[in-house]
Amino acid sequence: MALPLQVQAEIVGREPAGAYHRLVLRAPGIAARVEPGHFVAVAIGGVDSAMLLRRAFSIHRADPAAETIDVVFAEAGRGTRELARLRVGDSVNVVAPLGTPFPLPGEPVSAVMVAGGYGSAPMFALAERIVADGGSVAFVLGAATAERLYGVDQAQAITEDVVVTTDDGSEGVRGFVTGPLPEVLTAVEADVVYACGPMGMLRAVTEVASAHDARVFTAVEESMACGVGVCMTCVLPVVGDDGVSRFVRSCVDGPCFDGTKVRWDDAGTIPADIEGAAAMGAH
Protein backbone atom coordinates (compact mmCIF):
# COMPACT_ATOMS: atom_id res chain seq x y z
CA MET A 1 0.00 0.00 0.00
CA ALA A 2 1.42 3.38 -1.05
CA LEU A 3 1.81 5.84 1.79
CA PRO A 4 0.17 9.26 1.40
CA LEU A 5 2.15 12.43 0.87
CA GLN A 6 1.45 15.95 2.06
CA VAL A 7 2.38 18.52 -0.57
CA GLN A 8 1.61 22.04 -1.66
CA ALA A 9 -0.31 21.56 -4.93
CA GLU A 10 -0.56 24.19 -7.65
CA ILE A 11 -3.85 24.57 -9.48
CA VAL A 12 -2.96 24.14 -13.15
CA GLY A 13 -6.47 23.75 -14.54
CA ARG A 14 -10.05 24.56 -13.60
CA GLU A 15 -13.33 24.39 -15.47
CA PRO A 16 -17.06 24.21 -14.85
CA ALA A 17 -18.59 20.77 -15.37
CA GLY A 18 -22.35 21.11 -15.43
CA ALA A 19 -23.40 21.76 -11.83
CA TYR A 20 -19.87 21.00 -10.61
CA HIS A 21 -16.29 22.23 -10.73
CA ARG A 22 -13.22 20.33 -11.91
CA LEU A 23 -9.76 21.21 -10.62
CA VAL A 24 -6.43 19.91 -11.90
CA LEU A 25 -3.73 19.96 -9.23
CA ARG A 26 0.00 19.50 -9.80
CA ALA A 27 0.92 17.42 -6.77
CA PRO A 28 4.47 16.01 -7.10
CA GLY A 29 4.83 12.38 -6.11
CA ILE A 30 1.14 11.69 -5.57
CA ALA A 31 -0.28 10.69 -8.97
CA ALA A 32 1.90 7.60 -9.34
CA ARG A 33 0.53 6.29 -6.02
CA VAL A 34 -3.16 6.68 -6.87
CA GLU A 35 -5.52 3.76 -7.50
CA PRO A 36 -9.21 4.15 -8.47
CA GLY A 37 -11.20 4.88 -5.33
CA HIS A 38 -8.49 6.78 -3.45
CA PHE A 39 -9.33 10.25 -2.18
CA VAL A 40 -7.49 13.48 -1.40
CA ALA A 41 -7.89 15.72 1.66
CA VAL A 42 -7.60 19.41 0.77
CA ALA A 43 -6.85 22.23 3.24
CA ILE A 44 -9.06 25.25 2.60
CA GLY A 45 -8.13 28.89 3.07
CA GLY A 46 -4.44 28.68 3.94
CA VAL A 47 -2.65 28.55 7.28
CA ASP A 48 -4.61 31.46 8.76
CA SER A 49 -8.03 30.08 7.83
CA ALA A 50 -10.67 29.41 10.48
CA MET A 51 -11.65 26.32 8.48
CA LEU A 52 -9.48 23.82 10.33
CA LEU A 53 -10.84 20.63 8.77
CA ARG A 54 -9.71 19.43 5.37
CA ARG A 55 -12.29 18.57 2.71
CA ALA A 56 -12.18 15.07 1.21
CA PHE A 57 -12.75 14.47 -2.51
CA SER A 58 -12.54 11.35 -4.64
CA ILE A 59 -9.64 11.50 -7.07
CA HIS A 60 -11.14 11.68 -10.54
CA ARG A 61 -7.98 11.24 -12.61
CA ALA A 62 -4.28 10.83 -11.90
CA ASP A 63 -1.57 11.49 -14.49
CA PRO A 64 1.87 10.37 -13.25
CA ALA A 65 3.64 11.85 -16.29
CA ALA A 66 2.23 15.32 -15.63
CA GLU A 67 2.22 14.74 -11.84
CA THR A 68 -1.39 15.91 -11.67
CA ILE A 69 -4.56 14.75 -9.99
CA ASP A 70 -8.09 15.91 -10.84
CA VAL A 71 -10.99 16.42 -8.45
CA VAL A 72 -14.64 17.15 -9.13
CA PHE A 73 -16.79 18.85 -6.52
CA ALA A 74 -20.06 20.66 -5.91
CA GLU A 75 -20.43 23.91 -4.00
CA ALA A 76 -22.18 22.66 -0.87
CA GLY A 77 -20.87 24.85 1.93
CA ARG A 78 -18.32 27.45 2.97
CA GLY A 79 -15.30 25.23 2.25
CA THR A 80 -16.28 24.22 -1.28
CA ARG A 81 -17.37 27.79 -2.08
CA GLU A 82 -13.89 28.93 -1.10
CA LEU A 83 -12.34 26.21 -3.23
CA ALA A 84 -14.47 27.24 -6.21
CA ARG A 85 -13.04 30.78 -5.99
CA LEU A 86 -9.46 29.62 -6.52
CA ARG A 87 -7.77 30.30 -9.86
CA VAL A 88 -5.01 28.76 -11.93
CA GLY A 89 -1.71 29.53 -10.23
CA ASP A 90 -3.14 29.40 -6.71
CA SER A 91 -2.06 26.55 -4.45
CA VAL A 92 -3.63 24.34 -1.81
CA ASN A 93 -2.15 21.92 0.70
CA VAL A 94 -3.20 18.33 0.01
CA VAL A 95 -2.73 14.89 1.53
CA ALA A 96 -3.11 11.90 -0.81
CA PRO A 97 -3.68 9.19 -1.73
CA LEU A 98 -5.94 8.30 1.20
CA GLY A 99 -8.31 5.44 1.93
CA THR A 100 -8.73 1.94 0.59
CA PRO A 101 -9.37 1.90 -3.18
CA PHE A 102 -11.69 -0.33 -5.17
CA PRO A 103 -10.44 -3.91 -5.39
CA LEU A 104 -9.37 -4.77 -8.93
CA PRO A 105 -10.57 -8.13 -10.29
CA GLY A 106 -7.15 -9.38 -11.46
CA GLU A 107 -8.81 -11.16 -14.37
CA PRO A 108 -11.19 -10.28 -17.22
CA VAL A 109 -14.70 -9.61 -15.86
CA SER A 110 -17.96 -8.03 -16.92
CA ALA A 111 -18.37 -5.01 -14.66
CA VAL A 112 -21.16 -2.47 -14.24
CA MET A 113 -20.35 1.01 -12.92
CA VAL A 114 -23.23 2.69 -11.09
CA ALA A 115 -23.02 6.27 -9.87
CA GLY A 116 -25.14 9.15 -8.69
CA GLY A 117 -24.18 12.71 -9.62
CA TYR A 118 -20.46 13.42 -9.36
CA GLY A 119 -20.07 10.13 -7.50
CA SER A 120 -19.06 8.94 -10.96
CA ALA A 121 -15.71 10.77 -10.65
CA PRO A 122 -13.55 7.73 -9.73
CA MET A 123 -15.40 5.32 -12.02
CA PHE A 124 -13.82 6.16 -15.36
CA ALA A 125 -10.23 5.36 -14.42
CA LEU A 126 -11.50 2.14 -12.82
CA ALA A 127 -13.38 1.20 -15.98
CA GLU A 128 -10.32 1.85 -18.12
CA ARG A 129 -8.25 -0.44 -15.91
CA ILE A 130 -10.82 -3.23 -16.21
CA VAL A 131 -10.94 -2.88 -20.00
CA ALA A 132 -7.13 -2.84 -20.17
CA ASP A 133 -7.14 -6.13 -18.28
CA GLY A 134 -9.37 -7.70 -20.93
CA GLY A 135 -12.71 -7.11 -19.23
CA SER A 136 -15.84 -5.26 -20.34
CA VAL A 137 -17.80 -2.48 -18.66
CA ALA A 138 -21.22 -0.87 -18.69
CA PHE A 139 -22.36 2.31 -16.95
CA VAL A 140 -25.58 3.34 -15.25
CA LEU A 141 -25.26 7.04 -14.39
CA GLY A 142 -27.99 8.92 -12.56
CA ALA A 143 -28.72 12.32 -11.06
CA ALA A 144 -31.62 14.49 -10.00
CA THR A 145 -31.43 16.53 -13.23
CA ALA A 146 -29.47 16.51 -16.48
CA GLU A 147 -27.25 19.32 -15.20
CA ARG A 148 -26.24 17.23 -12.18
CA LEU A 149 -25.02 14.28 -14.24
CA TYR A 150 -21.27 13.97 -14.53
CA GLY A 151 -19.10 12.19 -17.08
CA VAL A 152 -21.64 10.74 -19.50
CA ASP A 153 -19.32 11.64 -22.38
CA GLN A 154 -16.39 9.96 -20.61
CA ALA A 155 -18.41 6.80 -20.13
CA GLN A 156 -19.45 6.78 -23.79
CA ALA A 157 -15.79 7.07 -24.81
CA ILE A 158 -15.09 3.81 -22.96
CA THR A 159 -18.12 1.71 -23.88
CA GLU A 160 -21.34 1.73 -25.88
CA ASP A 161 -23.20 0.30 -22.90
CA VAL A 162 -24.21 3.51 -21.11
CA VAL A 163 -27.61 4.09 -19.51
CA VAL A 164 -28.55 7.48 -18.05
CA THR A 165 -31.31 8.21 -15.55
CA THR A 166 -32.61 11.46 -14.08
CA ASP A 167 -35.19 11.86 -11.35
CA ASP A 168 -37.11 14.44 -13.40
CA GLY A 169 -36.68 12.81 -16.81
CA SER A 170 -34.69 15.74 -18.20
CA GLU A 171 -32.20 13.25 -19.70
CA GLY A 172 -32.33 9.52 -20.29
CA VAL A 173 -34.72 7.28 -18.36
CA ARG A 174 -36.97 8.93 -15.79
CA GLY A 175 -36.34 7.56 -12.30
CA PHE A 176 -33.48 6.13 -10.25
CA VAL A 177 -30.44 4.09 -11.32
CA THR A 178 -31.99 0.98 -9.78
CA GLY A 179 -34.79 1.07 -12.36
CA PRO A 180 -32.78 -0.07 -15.42
CA LEU A 181 -30.03 -1.77 -13.38
CA PRO A 182 -31.53 -5.30 -13.31
CA GLU A 183 -31.88 -5.31 -17.10
CA VAL A 184 -28.32 -4.06 -17.55
CA LEU A 185 -26.91 -6.70 -15.20
CA THR A 186 -28.70 -9.43 -17.12
CA ALA A 187 -27.76 -8.07 -20.56
CA VAL A 188 -24.03 -7.90 -19.84
CA GLU A 189 -23.96 -10.98 -17.60
CA ALA A 190 -22.32 -8.91 -14.89
CA ASP A 191 -19.76 -10.48 -12.57
CA VAL A 192 -19.23 -7.41 -10.42
CA VAL A 193 -20.84 -4.04 -9.71
CA TYR A 194 -18.96 -0.94 -8.56
CA ALA A 195 -21.03 1.90 -7.12
CA CYS A 196 -20.50 5.38 -5.71
CA GLY A 197 -23.17 7.79 -4.56
CA PRO A 198 -25.59 8.55 -1.72
CA MET A 199 -26.01 5.92 0.99
CA GLY A 200 -29.59 5.11 0.04
CA MET A 201 -28.54 4.47 -3.55
CA LEU A 202 -25.67 2.23 -2.45
CA ARG A 203 -28.00 0.16 -0.31
CA ALA A 204 -30.45 -0.29 -3.18
CA VAL A 205 -27.69 -1.11 -5.68
CA THR A 206 -26.29 -3.71 -3.27
CA GLU A 207 -29.69 -5.40 -3.05
CA VAL A 208 -30.11 -5.50 -6.84
CA ALA A 209 -26.58 -6.75 -7.47
CA SER A 210 -26.87 -9.46 -4.83
CA ALA A 211 -30.16 -10.64 -6.34
CA HIS A 212 -28.29 -11.11 -9.63
CA ASP A 213 -25.39 -13.00 -8.01
CA ALA A 214 -22.93 -10.21 -8.81
CA ARG A 215 -20.30 -9.07 -6.34
CA VAL A 216 -20.76 -5.45 -5.33
CA PHE A 217 -18.25 -2.88 -4.10
CA THR A 218 -19.45 0.50 -2.86
CA ALA A 219 -17.61 3.77 -2.27
CA VAL A 220 -19.46 5.47 0.56
CA GLU A 221 -20.02 9.20 0.84
CA GLU A 222 -19.43 9.76 4.55
CA SER A 223 -18.36 13.07 6.10
CA MET A 224 -14.67 12.80 6.92
CA ALA A 225 -13.34 15.35 9.37
CA CYS A 226 -9.71 14.23 9.56
CA GLY A 227 -9.33 11.79 6.65
CA VAL A 228 -6.71 9.70 8.44
CA GLY A 229 -8.71 7.64 10.95
CA VAL A 230 -8.14 9.67 14.11
CA CYS A 231 -11.44 11.46 14.79
CA MET A 232 -13.82 8.49 14.30
CA THR A 233 -16.60 10.67 12.83
CA CYS A 234 -16.95 8.57 9.68
CA VAL A 235 -17.50 5.14 11.23
CA LEU A 236 -19.86 2.61 9.67
CA PRO A 237 -21.15 -0.71 11.05
CA VAL A 238 -19.62 -3.44 8.88
CA VAL A 239 -19.70 -7.22 9.23
CA GLY A 240 -16.19 -8.69 9.33
CA ASP A 241 -15.02 -11.90 7.68
CA ASP A 242 -15.49 -13.58 11.06
CA GLY A 243 -19.17 -12.62 11.14
CA VAL A 244 -18.69 -10.04 13.90
CA SER A 245 -20.05 -6.52 13.34
CA ARG A 246 -17.66 -3.67 14.11
CA PHE A 247 -17.47 0.03 13.53
CA VAL A 248 -14.87 0.70 10.84
CA ARG A 249 -13.51 4.02 9.63
CA SER A 250 -14.67 5.01 6.16
CA CYS A 251 -11.56 7.11 5.60
CA VAL A 252 -9.09 4.30 6.32
CA ASP A 253 -10.88 0.96 5.97
CA GLY A 254 -12.96 2.50 3.17
CA PRO A 255 -14.30 4.41 1.42
CA CYS A 256 -14.62 1.29 -0.75
CA PHE A 257 -16.40 -1.63 0.93
CA ASP A 258 -18.01 -4.91 -0.06
CA GLY A 259 -21.60 -3.68 -0.17
CA THR A 260 -22.96 -6.91 1.28
CA LYS A 261 -20.91 -6.37 4.46
CA VAL A 262 -22.18 -2.85 5.23
CA ARG A 263 -25.14 -2.69 7.61
CA TRP A 264 -26.92 0.01 5.66
CA ASP A 265 -30.01 0.13 7.91
CA ASP A 266 -27.84 0.74 10.97
CA ALA A 267 -25.67 3.55 9.62
CA GLY A 268 -25.70 6.45 12.06
CA THR A 269 -26.79 4.27 14.98
CA ILE A 270 -25.11 2.04 17.59
CA PRO A 271 -26.53 -1.44 16.95
CA ALA A 272 -26.95 -3.51 20.11
CA ASP A 273 -24.89 -6.36 18.67
CA ILE A 274 -21.95 -4.28 17.44
CA GLU A 275 -18.65 -5.18 19.07
CA GLY A 276 -18.15 -2.87 22.06
CA ALA A 277 -21.77 -1.62 22.09
CA ALA A 278 -22.10 -2.06 25.87
CA ALA A 279 -19.03 0.07 26.51
CA MET A 280 -20.26 2.75 24.11
CA GLY A 281 -23.62 2.85 25.86
CA ALA A 282 -21.92 3.32 29.19
CA HIS A 283 -20.45 6.58 27.95
Q: Which residues are annotated as a binding site for [2Fe-2S] cluster?
A: 226, 231, 234, 251
* Binding-site residues for FAD: 55-58, 79-80
Query: What residue numbers does the annotated binding site cover?
Result: 55-58, 79-80, 226, 231, 234, 251
Q: At 204, is the secondary structure helix, strand, or coil?
A: helix
- For residues 27 and 67, the answer to whether their CB atoms sit within 8 Å is yes
Query: What percent of the residues of the chain are helix, what percent strand, and what percent coil, each to the nearest 5?
Result: 25, 35, 45
User: Helix (H, G, I), strand (E, B), or coil: what is residue 256?
Assistant: strand
Enumerate the H helices of the chain as residue ranges: 78-84, 123-132, 152-158, 181-188, 199-211, 277-282
What counts of helices (H) and strands (E) characterise the chain?
6, 15
* DSSP structural state of residue 99: S
